[in-house]
Structure 1
Amino acid sequence: MVIKWILTYRAIDFSGYCARYVDNTRLYLIDERWGTEQTRDLLNHIGTHQLPVQTIVIYGYSFDLESIRELEIGLKQLDQKVNLVKRY
């Protein structure tokens, strides 16, 4: 028995970085080249309610520690709670 699972997502651009938005609740940040400009753009989208997100999933090997820490601090300062999940 083979089960096919097709996941549809919407690609969202954050200052040149392509993120994947799934089920209107989860944002996947998988690719490399994430930096301060992308963090600022993402936080602006969430903070101005342009992008409703409950969970952000990042692939830890694609991010340097400074970028992860900057994202964690920024998410804590938002009005709404956004979970950050790091996968390795």
Structure 2
Amino acid sequence: MTTSAEDFYRIARNDDEILHRLSGIQDEAVFIGTIEDIARERGFSLTSEEIRLAIFNLTEIVQSVANDDELTDFELEMIAAGIPINCEQETVKA
């Protein structure tokens, strides 16, 4: 995982403007493109592949960034939308 993705997530998880822009997007390509745009606006350089990897490893990033905080509403929405929680290389575990 890139530090840049974690740093961006650290900011995004509590930023109402970012969360508002991302909420309700159901198309993966649009979601990733929007994250790329927001990241660029905030001074981050994230590729679509880095964003896909970050989404795939969301649990790892949340654990790294949250420091045992409760999940944010956005994180709960991501989980409810079907983002895998326990993932290993190409395999989703229940």
**TM-score, scaled relative to structure 1:** 0.37
**TM-score, scaled relative to structure 2:** 0.36
| Greater relative CO, 1 or 2 (CA 8 Å, sep 6+) | 2
Q: Which has the larger strand fraction? A: 1
Q: Which has the larger helix fraction? A: 2
